[in-house]
Chains A and B, each alone.
Chain A
Amino acid sequence: GAGVSQSPSNKVTEKGKDVELRCDPISGHTALYWYRQSLGQGLEFLIYFQGNSAPDKSGLPSDRFSAERTGGSVSTLTIQRTQQEDSAVYLCASSLVGGSRGEQYFGPGTRLTVT
């Protein structure tokens, strides 16, 4: 079946612009996660959705970052007034169930470059 898809695959933007990154999870997966992977860094958790609610937003680095999920499916991560330190690969993952024992399946990522 289809895996997690993300768009765009690459995004180059100028400092100060807003960007939107999209994630389509595996059909039927109730939980959705956003992570960030910077050069030389491990994967860093950003936010977790269970259905359309976000019980854990603890990883969002600043109030410039926000995310929403609609219809228990597609999610959008928005970064406002982008900064150079926002350059990274943004990865989305989904799991059949949230919390305890759901294996997370990742998409290919969106590579964001802020110039």
Chain B
Amino acid sequence: EDQVTQSPEALRLQEGESSSLNCSYTVSGLRGLFWYRQDPGKGPEFLFTLYSAGEEKEKERLKATLTKKESFLHITAPKPEDSATYLCAVHPYNQGGKLIFGQGTELSVKP
């Protein structure tokens, strides 16, 4: 069964304190792995797509990496405005357009 597990469920950081969020996945075949950011009361906002192991993508203070079993979202020197829930999703083969989401990591960055 295709499955996505994110850890930790919640993460509290001080401003400037770098850390990483984990997304472990089990799929029969991976077309792509997606990271989204979701603010309270809003829809998920697209951040990154990763397609193959070893791939990395960066955007401002965020860097996403991918291995054959997991993905990491590294956040460097976070700011309070980075506080949000970060969602990981996989797009398996033979599943049409369906994305399978993890439960998310709720990140809080205090000044």
Chain A positions 30-61 with a Cβ under 8 Å from a chain B Cβ:
31, 33, 35, 41-45, 48, 50, 55-56, 58-59
A107 at the interface (CB under 8 A from B): yes
Q: How many interface residues does B have (CB within 8 Å)?
A: 26
Q: How far is the CB of A3 from chain B (nearest CB, A)?
A: 9
Identify the closest chain B residue to A99 (Cβ). Answer: B97
Cα-based distance from A108 to B36 in the complex (angstroms) = 14
Cα-based distance from A42 to B41 in the complex (angstroms) = 15
Residues on the B chain within 8 Å of A42, using CB: 4, 87, 101-104
Of B36, B46, B97, B101, most A-chain CB atoms within 10 Å: B97
Task: Give A residues with C-beta under 8 Å from B.
Answer: 4, 31, 33, 35, 41-45, 48, 50, 55-56, 58-59, 91, 93, 95, 98-109
15 contacts between A and B (CB under 8 A): A42-B87, A42-B102, A43-B87, A43-B101, A44-B101, A55-B96, A56-B96, A91-B43, A98-B96, A101-B32, A103-B46, A104-B99, A106-B43, A106-B46, A108-B41
